[in-house]
Amino acid sequence: YLKISKLALAFAIIHSKPPGKSCREYTEHLAKTVSGQDFGWKSKVEALEAEILRLRQELLLNKVCPRFCLENGASAETLLDQECINPMSYSSQLEDSGCDVSNDYAFDSLGIASDFHQSEHNVDTSKHWLERALPLNLCSTGKGKSLTAPVQFLQHLLEIRKLSEGGILQANFTELENDSFTISNSVSQLLDGLTIFYNSPKFPVSNFLTEAVCVLISLITDTKLSNHVLKKCFKKLEEFKKNLIQIILRNSSVNRFQALHAVSHTLLLLGRNNILRNSLISLLLSEVRQFAEQLLQAHQIQAMYDIIQYENIFPLCMILEQLLQNETEESNISSSDYNGEEKIKFIKNLDQIILHLSDEFPLFSLYLWRVSVLLNSAEIQ
């Protein structure tokens, strides 16, 4: 059947070929025309799928809390529209020249994250909720749009949860059981948007990106909402962490350190979540161990090693050290995933690796030693 179809297509092309063109040229012309039509259809389908997801998000929010009505009779939807007329001054951040790359707002993960988490417990008034909600016209770029829609939806969902717990409004969260698809798709869209940005970042980094990561972590931390995310998006979250680690390791641009700082900042935020921390530590242990073994092998045979990867391994070491430090300082230390196979692999022959590398690579050897001390101290506790 396939041979007959190909033969029929060949005859059709030959008979319909315009004069002055060879069969090969006419076939290539037809192929380009068809592929162009396919590309157009794909873009239309993607736009329609995005619109369907947006409508599903609005529908789910209205099912959970119809029109976001507050106790005092005011409609939060109306107030949100008023907030969008005079949106918060995010544009001033986006228009910053970025000359001072060490400015606090861009990379102060502790400050931004603490402000966000403090706001989680403040549900006294609806005004504060609307101040935390993102204005609809926050981002105008393609990357911004891919992040704005899921962040707004997830943030509104979290705020409804907080306001319902504080008695400010009534919400029916049983609807989430029937439509967990919308939540998981929104989380996937958010992760894809963040990955696209970190693969080709633009500076200065907006607070909006940190806010997006904080919304994601809050969603995972929330006991009533996290199940809908972890059931369908856990593999996606693991892949996201792996992608961020590889972005750090493989970045070879000359001015890459600001980008590495931004990705490291996001990994640290993810590592503060108890659900994500253990798997992230395991991934970091694996990457640092593999690089140490490769570096030792290259050193023993006096071979060349990748100097760029050597420079990029230090952000991973610093992230790993900080996560282990936080884990050790916590009073409720439990048996962690990294206490198993990855820890055994990391500690095995570590003394010999440090001994052989300490003269040529003293800083890297020092980091290896500090990580091993933290691992051992966690085990003792």
Please give the full DSSP string across 269-283, using - where no structure is assigned.
Answer: HHHTSHHHHHHHHHH
Q: Among 137-151, 285-299, 321-335, which stretch is predicted with the lowest mean pLDDT?
A: 137-151
pLDDT of residue 145: 60
pLDDT of residue 67: 61
Banded pLDDT at 230 (limits 50, 70, 90): confident
Q: Among 38-52, 133-147, 240-254, 352-366, which stretch is predicted with the lowest mean pLDDT?
A: 133-147
pLDDT of residue 338: 56
Banded pLDDT at 134 (limits 50, 70, 90): very low
High-pLDDT (> 90) share of the chain, %: 20
pLDDT of residue 68: 55
Q: Among 35-49, 69-83, 155-169, 214-228, which stretch is predicted with the lowest mean pLDDT?
A: 69-83
In the beta sheet, which residues pair with residue 75?
Answer: 69
Mean pLDDT score of the chain, rounded to an integer? 75
Q: Among 26-40, 234-248, 278-292, 299-313, which stretch is predicted with the lowest mean pLDDT?
A: 26-40
pLDDT of residue 89: 38
List the one residue out of 295, 134, 328 whose CA is nearest residue 215.
134
- Which has more confidence, 269 or 109? 269
List, in sequence order, every beta strand (DSSP E) within the chain.
Answer: none
Give the mean model confidence (pLDDT) for residues 225-251.
87
High-pLDDT (> 70) share of the chain, %: 74
Q: How far is it, in rounded angstroms, from Cα 174 to Cα 196?
A: 33
Banded pLDDT at 117 (limits 50, 70, 90): very low
Tokens of 303: 């071979």
The torsion of the CA quartet 249, 255, 257, 260, rounded to 10 degrees, works out to -50
Q: How far is it, in rounded angstroms, from Cα 205 to Cα 358?
A: 37
Residues 6+ apart with CB under 8 A from 189: 53, 146, 149, 150
pLDDT of residue 330: 66
pLDDT of residue 46: 82
pLDDT of residue 364: 93
Banded pLDDT at 247 (limits 50, 70, 90): very high
pLDDT at 335 over 90: no
Taking the CB of residue 106, how many other CB atoms lie within 10 A of it? Answer: 24
Write down the number of H helices and E strands in the chain.
18, 0
Any idea how long the chain is? 381
Please give the full DSSP string across 9-70, using - where no structure is assigned.
Answer: HHHHHHHHPPTT--HHHHHHHHHHHHHHHHHHHHHHHHHHHHHHHHHHHHHHHHHHSGGGB-
- Which has more confidence, 370 or 108? 370
pLDDT at 143 over 60: no
For the chain, how far is it from start to end, CA to CA, in angstroms? 70
For residues 115-145, one letter each, b for 16 or more C-beta atoms within 10 angstroms of the residue's C-beta and e for the rest, the string is ebeebbeebeebeebbebbbbeebbeeebbe
pLDDT at 368 over 80: yes
pLDDT at 305 over 90: no
Q: How far is it, in rounded angstroms, from Cα 195 to Cα 333?
A: 31
Tokens of 308: 């760029």
List the one residue out of 112, 269, 265, 114 whose CA is nearest residue 201.
265
Give the mean model confidence (pLDDT) for residues 5-24.
89
Give tens-digit pLDDT for 152-204.
Answer: 888 888 888 888 877 777 777 777 777 778 888 889 989 998 888 888 877 67
pLDDT of residue 208: 80
Environment class of 109 (CB within 10 Å of its CB; exposed 0-12, middle 13-18, buried 19+): buried
pTM: predicted TM-score of the whole model, two decimal places = 0.69
Give tens-digit pLDDT for 71-90.
Answer: 434 444 443 344 343 434 33
